[in-house]
Amino acid sequence: MPVADTLHGVPLFSRLGEAELARVAEAARERTYPKNSVILFEDDPGDALYIVVTGQVKVVLIGEDGREVILSVLGESDFFGEMSLIDDEPRSAHVIAMEDANLLVLRREDFQNALEAHPRIALGLLLALSHRLRRADDKIGSLVLLDVMGRVARLLLELADENDGVTITRRVTHHTIAQMIGSSRETVSRTMRDLADKGMIEVNRRAITIKDRTALKGTAGLG
């Protein structure tokens, strides 16, 4: 897929016209990262914006004991690295490829030039940051107020809403879910079985399907 077409699918650039997209595309560089490779290290200088073309990456904090906490899982058309381009601070987390990933990279200078030339990018950036802040608030609230089943239910609803509200096609293991909600893999596995036994979800090798959204929302404290 041409770079300009890829950029058009990114909310940050979706308001640009063809000529504007073409100019941004000229400055972007394609990079490939194999599974489990580190794309960014926490505290690295913030010198570029990254856009996921294919594959999945995870944004993580790693404790001194090696334990990971996943802040978010990003897929096609998602982007990361924008915070450091705005405040000129080091990277706030590691970013690691969960599978082979193809990315577009836009250097700081090129991104700032695009931002100055096309103010509509700034609106897209503000909307994206607002969305991420709301999600962070929701995550903090769920960690404080919900038990493990409630946190799993809320995460499943969020993942389903990325698609059609019913089917979760993003590949997330029980281990990944555990790292995202602050629990253990064993506890998440038991919780997933409980939710399936109660008829709220159906799990197969290809996808997770929400079978009773109303009940799942109630479990997530959203009813």
CATH number at residue 110: 2.60.120.10
What mean pLDDT is predicted for residues 13-37?
90
Whether residues 103 and 176 fall in one domain: no
Residue 13 placed within a domain: yes
Provide the number of structural domains found in the chain: 2
List pLDDT tens digits, range 33-45: 999 999 999 988 8
Residue at 141 is within a domain: no
- Contact assessment for residue 24 and residue 18, using Cβ atoms and an 8 Å cutoff: no
126 and 165 co-located in one domain: no
Average per-residue pLDDT in the chain? 90
**pLDDT tens digits, residue range 56-102?**
999 999 887 878 889 889 999 999 988 887 787 888 899 999 999 99
Same domain, 86 and 159: no
Share above pLDDT 70 across residues of the chain, in percent, rounded to a whole number: 99
The percentage of the chain sitting over the pLDDT mark of 90, rounded to a whole number, equals: 51
On whether both 209 and 112 belong to a single domain, the answer is no
pLDDT at 1: 66
pLDDT at 223 over 80: no
Burial class (CB in 10 A: 0-12, 13-18, 19+), 14: middle
Considering only CA atoms, which of 214, 186, 183 is closest in space to residue 201?
214
